[in-house]
Structure 1
Amino acid sequence: MKIVTIGGGSSYTPEIIEGFINRHKNLPVSEIWLVDIEAGKKKLETVGRLAQRMVEKAGINCKVHLTLNRREALKGASFVTTQFRVGLMEARILDERIPLSHGMIGQETNGFGGFMKALRTIPVILDIAKDMEELCPNAWLINFTNPSSMVTEAVQRFSKIKCVGLCNVPIYLVKTAEQMLGDSNFLLHCVGMNHYLWARHLYYKGNDILPEKLADFVRTTNESEQVRNVKNIPWDVNFVQHLGMMPVSYHRYYYMTEQMLEEELTKFDGGKGKTRGQEVKEVEEKLFKLYEDPDLAVKPKELEERGGTYYSDAACDLIQAIYTNNHQIMIVNTQNNGTLPFLPDDATIETSAMITDAGPIPLKATALPIIAQTELHIMKTFERLTIEAAISGNYDTAIQALTLNPLVKKGEITRQVLNEMIQAHKAHLPKWQVRK
């Protein structure tokens, strides 16, 4: 089995290498190709050598290749994973700092930042899919690149490649439920969109116990460690009980916007402070110094500071589930196909699904409350307009998309910030021009 990882120079790479090592008995990967671009060559060589040492130490029959030639790597691949960032960490920092300078949420996957990341990323992922159609047409594309929902939907709608998206964030919901129950023998049924997801059912000992356990779920969430890059502002128990579902951590950007914005602006300190992207960049610099140690042959514990905990579990479990057809239930980004009847069939949703060698089969959930349906309809329309803008380069479509997003200020400031963003990212947005 040949695995190709696009963005192989990422600091995350030791996570997925560890995942393949731990599963090698049931997932006999013989080749891992780590691919990056010229600008990431040094990081690729550093983390790639660590990956080679990890595989050698594990004593498994697997060879790790490093290359800047994507097409060479893709030939005959069984699975392709994507974890790349167009514009590198500097682009993320711009996505955070420019909106914050205008009093808006500055975040890499939500609001203006997520929109701009999608504009840069979608053309690249479609180029990768085009290469795959030619060089490994039967391979599965496992997308971990954010914004996962939009990137995955672009591939699913505009290429012939089999694609599933995934995220480590839903795993925190599962881990919190396990902590609350003191038992792992349950099924947490989630539904929504990536970074806009709810736990809808909690099946345990023959019953859906979520309604009676929702207050405990909230309290356990408030007391436990959550996603590292989302401030753990406590949820209001009454609010969540009235909603009837447990929101994922990223919902704080939409349900607690003012508190999240205030926290970000305080850290930003009028431009003198650091954003999360700048903090991550510093963490990565320390990580790569560790990776350079020729005696290091395991994933260092310090990688947990980077975020992305459970990444290898999500990615490798999904690949193993498809390969072995083991019918595991996982929370993935897949096509709607009637699961949420108020959204288009070809829309990408995030939901619990049974994983087969033919792909995910989503589980049916009880109808969502009307408020959740309305929120998802708005957010999915924003996403689909963003995908359209990313492919066409149409400025007016971009403005329409941004006007729908709840985290974006409306009016002339929308155009002003979009122009600043286009100018800041012009090296990665060849189709785009500012408009006065």
Structure 2
Amino acid sequence: MSGGVRIVLVGAGSREFGPASIRDLLLSDALCDRGLDIVLVDIDPSELPRTQAYAESVAVRLGRSVSLSATTDLAEALPGAHAVVLAIEIRRYFYWAQDFHIPRQFGSSQIYGENGGPGGLFHALRNMGPAMDVARAMEAHCPEAWLINYTNPLTKLCEAQSRLSSVRVVGLCHGVFHGMEQMARLLELPAERLDARASGLNHFSWFESVRDRETGEDLYPGLRRREREAHWLHDWDEIALSRILFRVFGRYPSPGANHIGEYLGWAREFLGSSLLQFFHDPVQGAPWETGETPTWLYNLGENPTDVPAFPESPLPRVRNGDDETGGEDEVGATGELTPSGELAVPLLEGVLCGVDTCLDAVNVPNEGYVPGLSEGAVVEVPARADRDGLHPAAMEPLPEGILGLLRTQTTISRLLVDAFAEGSRRTLLQALLLDPTTTSYRTAVHTINEMFRLQGEVLPEMEW
């Protein structure tokens, strides 16, 4: 393409997403050489000056001549955009604590409540309205632009945007890299030696092949042997569930127990930190009543003993799972600025600048890429990006047992988008009753009513 490249970052006030995305864009020679125009957008104006100042300082440090602006007006930002990168949340931890606890109070066996389980359904519904507002604004102001979504629950939101709008949407997540790192540790090889290809759903993908980049050797036989030899308690919260699934279904899954386990009804015994996440003493009141959202731990890899004993002590920076993309101080060992490792800029370098790029995971509507899953369901597969666009890979069929697990989730996602479009709690109930962590009809109804009572101001209007 000729001329400048206009990239709009929606949710730029985030202290993680904003600086990380800015740094990635400004580190890209391909984009900056085209004439980069970055527009920072957030509905909260308070953080935009900080984000813009950071962008300006990085541009000076890197010697980049780019256009930078900030606004709270999406309609002002979008005309002429070539891509919109979306990462938004509504009072993330406050509402996530409700997603986590309320379904459990009504008997759900969910373990995490971010992307799957009843909690994941309400997390999706909170973000679905704003995510669709962005897609519809793009239809009006930049219909040919790429919509790159980082916002969770990724699969459910991308399905809404792809089904209910005409924009080109691609969901991106680095979860598949966690699976690669786990396999590399078991094999005692550097992660960069692994050439691994996975397919399935975001946070529920399965490696079709694992090879040594240097020798071409099939590493799956060695991985099976090493997994059998490994101590069961090694890195328990991260890989114990993955190991069981590997043994039962024959393929190694990704990214780790707390995410994979969201889609299973029997996963709690494989996540030791499950009872520590958002822990509070109910005698002192629920977090959403007291306004004091409790500490969230990603898993036992975040040592609970590192949490200070007294409130006045500064809390450690707790790893933010899939939302951890690196903040303003992301530098290498020698002090140089380093990329976040996220895939938006490599994708954009491909489709906007013609750089032939391989991407380990993209989330797109299924067009035969994952045989056995419904056409149009959002799936996660490797892809290649170049001047002709994005080319998702057609993968080999997954084993029937794995497809059975995935089909349940694609149906839940479809019903959830239907419920949102129809404003129907009855359709939402269908999705909830299909969820593997739901224990009864009555408690499912109570869960829906209670979540709407607590979160009604940020949920779409839905009636029975």
For 2:253 and 2:449, how far apart are their aligned partners in 1?
Answer: 33
Q: How does 1:162-311 map to 2 (within 5 A)?
A: 162-177=168-183, 180=187, 181-182=189-190, 184-204=192-212, 205-216=215-226, 231-232=237-238, 234-235=240-241, 237=243, 239-248=245-254, 249=256, 250-254=259-263, 257-259=267-269, 263-267=273-277, 268-271=279-282, 274=294, 276=296, 299-301=328-330
1:128 aligns to what?
Answer: 134
> Post-superposition shift, 1:403?
0.7
What secondary structure, in the 3-state scheme, does the structure 2 residue paired with 1:171 have?
Answer: helix
How far does residue 27 in structure 1 lie from its aligned partner after superposition? 4.9
Q: Deviations over 1:306-349 (max 9, x none)?
A: xxx98553222222232224141321101211122322221110
Flag the 1:371–1:139 CA change in 2: closer, same or farther, 3 A: same
When normalised by structure 2's length, the TM-score is: 0.79
Structure 2: distance between partners of 1:193 and 1:342: 13
Tell me the alpha carbon deviations over residues 40-76 of structure 1, each in whole angstroms, 9 at most, x when there is no partner: 2212333332232222222211232111001111110
Shifted more, 207-216 versus 106-115: the winner is 207-216
Quote the offset at 1:365 in angstroms: 2.9
Residues in 2 aligned to 1:327 and 1:94: alpha-carbon distance in whole angstroms: 40
Checking the alignment, whether the CA contact within 8 Å between 1:171 and 1:310 is kept in structure 2 is no
Matches within 5 A, 1:13-162: 13-25=18-30, 27-28=32-33, 30-37=36-43, 40-104=44-108, 105=110, 106-162=112-168
Distance 2:242 2:39 in 1: 46
Report the CA distance shift for 1:59/1:286 in structure 2 as closer, same or farther (over 3 A).
farther
Q: For structure 1, which runs of at least 5 residues remain unmatched after alignment?
A: 288-297, 303-308
For 1:394, the aligned partner's letter is S
**What is the rounded CA distance, in whole Å, between the counterparts of 1:411 and 1:46 in structure 2?**
48
Q: Shift of the alpha carbon at 1:216?
A: 3.5
Contact 1:378 1:404 in 2 (8 A): yes
Query: How many residue pairs are counted as aligned between the two chains?
Result: 411
Question: Which residue in 1 is equivalent to 2:423?
Answer: 393
Please give the alpha-carbon distance, in whole angstroms, between the structure 2 residues aligned to 1:427 and 1:218: 50
- Give the 4+ runs in structure 1 shifted more than 6 A: 217-225, 277-280, 282-287
- RMSD (Å), alpha carbons: 3.4
Q: Contact 2:23–2:339 at 8 Å: present in 1 too? A: no
* Residue in 1 that maps onto 2:438: 408
SS at match of 1:351: strand
Rate the CA distance shift 1:107–1:220 in 2: closer, same or farther, 3 A.
farther
One-letter amino acid of the counterpart of residue 32, structure 1: I
> How many Å separate the matches in 2 of 1:153 and 1:11?
27
Any conservation in 1 of the 2:176–2:360 contact (CA below 8 Å)? Answer: no
In structure 2, relative to structure 1, the CA distance for the partners of 1:199 and 1:412 (3 Å cut) is same
CA contact (8 A) 2:106 2:446 kept: no
TM-aligned CA distance change 1:237 to 1:259, over 3 Å: closer
Q: Output the CA distance in 2 between the equivalents of 1:390 and 1:404.
A: 17
CA shift, 1:395, in A, is 0.9
Whole-Å separation in 1 of the counterparts to 2:65 and 2:243:
51
Q: Distance in 1 between matches of 2:7 and 2:232?
A: 38
Pair 1:398–1:157, CA change in 2 (3 A): same
Q: One-letter code of the match for 1:314?
A: L
- Supply the distance in 1 between the matched residues of 2:462 and 2:297 (Cα, whole angstroms): 24
Tell me whether 233-242 or 7-16 shows the greater mean CA deviation.
Answer: 233-242
Distance change (3 Å), C-alpha of 1:233 and 1:43: same
Q: Does 1:354 align with 2:384?
A: yes
Say whether 1:2 aligns with 2:31: no
SS at match of 2:374: coil
| Superposed displacement of residue 237, structure 1 | 4.3
TM-score by length of 1: 0.83
Deviations 1:104-137 (A, max 9, x none): 3342222112101221222322221121122112
Cα gap change, 1:153 to 1:285, in 2 (>3 Å): farther
> Residues 63-98 of structure 1, C-alpha deviation per residue, up to 9 Å, x if partnerless?
321110011111101110000113554333322232
Distance 1:17 1:399 in 2: 40
Counterparts of 1:88 and 1:234, CA distance in 2: 28
C-alpha distance in 2 between matches for 1:284 and 1:135: 44
> Percent identity between the aligned chains?
25
- The aligned counterpart of 2:307 is none
Contiguous gaps of at least 5 residues in structure 2: 288-293, 303-310, 318-326, 332-337
Could you say which structure has the higher helix fraction?
1
The one-character-per-residue Cα deviations of 1:346-376 (angstroms, maximum 9, x if unpaired) are: 1110111222344432323332111101111
Are residue 317 (structure 1) and residue 322 (structure 2) matched?
A: no
Q: Structure 2 counterpart of 1:339, which letter? A: Y
Displacement of 1:424 = 1.4
Relative distance call for 1:198 and 1:89 in structure 2 (3 A) is same
What is the CA distance between 1:411 and its match in structure 2? Answer: 1.6
